[in-house]
Structure 1
Amino acid sequence: MKPRKNLQLIMALAESEMKQKDLAEKAGVSRAIISMALNGRYVPSPEHMHRIACALDSTAQELFGEEK
């Protein structure tokens, strides 16, 4: 089964006008974590979700929550 891209995270990153590298630095995580999360190959830990969400002025639920 092919991983599903995280469209909410992709859109938030695009709206922020940051590059993956910039988001990683602001969130205090590696660029690899950002890349894998965007591509749906990795679900970040709750702490990393929170850091990424804060860096994007969002919430972990909005970016990583269940789709309805």
Structure 2
Amino acid sequence: MTEQELSHRLSTLQSEIARSDAQTRSALVDQLAHAVRALESFGGTVPRAARRVIENQRDAEIEAMFDNLPV
């Protein structure tokens, strides 16, 4: 994929993630993270919004691990 195609893929994935349910979102965020790494390997600029989506998903997954811990 070219840098332009990867940038377009990032936009498409972000739109899909915004419309997805929680179960689908995790797989889409994994695809987004892969596309981000590929774009970085080309030396391309990754939009902050894409990084934010990935970080938010990681935070949610980490938080979910602690939801059922006894206090």
Q: Same fold (TM over 0.5)?
A: no
Normalising by structure 2, we get a TM-score of 0.30
Select the structure that is richer in helix.
2
